[in-house]
Amino acid sequence: MQNAAFSACNLDYVYIPFAVAPEKLGEAVSGLHALGVRGYNVTIPHKTEIIRYLDGLDKSAEDAGAVNTVLVDNGRMIGYNTDGDGLVCSLAEDLNFVPTMGTIVIIGAGGAARGAVAALCRAEAKRVIIVNRTFDKACALKSDMNQRYPEVFIEAVKMEELNEKYLPYTSLVVNTTSIGMNGDRIEFLNLAMLSKSAKVYDMVYSPLITPLIHEASGMGLMVSNGLGMLASQGERAFTIWTGQTPPKGLMKQFLTGICCS
Ligand code: ATR
């Protein structure tokens, strides 16, 4: 999708994937620097580990505690995180949802959840509820985000408390975990407790229709998978590297073409 956008903008850039073993990350970063690249993406399992090799972090990466995009600027390597803002953008485009609209339930408390909560807070979310299999991790994420964004009401909630106490007043549910990639349901989530106007976002995009998406859309709820977030984080990275905006919707179209062919 990056190459499609470079080509559409007549930019003389190329995007190439490299598989890098964890123990070779430092060498890979030095190599990219020596080659004079403009920037790169990093993904699992390097998103946190990369930080120690960089010269600075943008606030997006600092808050998320993870980097997915690096810009090499005047010899300095700066880490960004475009995942969270990609989510916020996809929520607007795919679900017509803006974070100020109401209570948001975040499922999960790992790296993806951290980036999501931080971006939702930056986008002026009013109330964020974090629910996770391991409650202590939800509490740790809540405390950290509370310190960074004291103006947002953030709560950590136990799985067994979610359905009756919180779901009826929830506007949006976001799954940040990998549950669903292998066809599993989110066992503790009872979608029937949501109001008919609630929306459901699953960051998973492979498969395109997870059990969560299937079940929620079957109940008439507005739903979206994570394809829009994948495209949006890429659009942001594109702009960080090139200073230009890619043609609107091109990356999403490209991904949709791949995923549906
Ligand atoms: P990522 O960076 O993709 O978020 P991670 O940091 O390993 O990955 O976090 C994975 C998240 O998915 C965690 O919140 C994890 O819950 P735990 O903290 O209890 O481990 C959650 N998760 C993964 N598989 C799960 C499952 N089968 N059931 C419930 N939660 C699961």
H/E stretch holding 59 reads helix 59-64
Say yes or no: 215 and 247 in one domain.
Answer: no
Say yes or no: 63 and 115 in one domain.
Answer: no
Is the CB of 108 inside a 6 Å radius of any atom of ligand 1?
Answer: yes
**pLDDT reading at 258 higher than 90:** no
Say yes or no: 173 and 220 in one domain.
Answer: yes
Whether the upstream peptide bond of residue 45 has omega within 30° of 0, thus cis, is: yes
Q: What angle do CA 125, 126, 132 make, to 5 degrees?
A: 75
Say yes or no: 94 and 213 in one domain.
Answer: yes
CATH code (residue 26): 3.40.50.10860
Residue 130 belongs to what domain range? 84-225
Coil vs helix vs strand at 38: coil
Say yes or no: 88 and 210 in one domain.
Answer: yes
Number of domains in the chain: 2
Give this prediction's pTM.
0.93
Is the CB of 111 inside a 6 Å radius of any atom of ligand 1?
Answer: yes
CA distance linking residue 150 with residue 171, whole number of Å: 21
Say yes or no: 15 and 91 in one domain.
Answer: no
Say yes or no: 253 and 154 in one domain.
Answer: no
CATH code (residue 220): 3.40.50.720
Q: Whose CA is nearest to atom 26 of ligand 1?
A: 179
Is the CB of 177 inside a 6 Å radius of any atom of ligand 1?
Answer: yes
Say yes or no: 6 and 135 in one domain.
Answer: no
pLDDT digits (tens, 9 = 90+) for 156-165: 999 999 999 9
Say yes or no: 54 and 181 in one domain.
Answer: no
CB 38 within 8 A of CB 13: yes
pLDDT at site 111? 87
Q: Whose CA is nearest to atom 14 of ligand 1?
A: 108
165 belongs to the catalytic site: no
Say yes or no: 34 and 64 in one domain.
Answer: yes
Say yes or no: 40 and 153 in one domain.
Answer: no
CB 9 within 8 A of CB 242: yes
pLDDT at site 257? 85
Residue 261: pLDDT band by 50, 70, 90 thresholds? low
Q: What is the largest CA-CA distance in the chain?
A: 56
Q: Whose CA is nearest to atom 16 of ligand 1?
A: 133
Say yes or no: 180 and 193 in one domain.
Answer: yes
Residue 44: pLDDT band by 50, 70, 90 thresholds? confident
pLDDT at site 260? 62
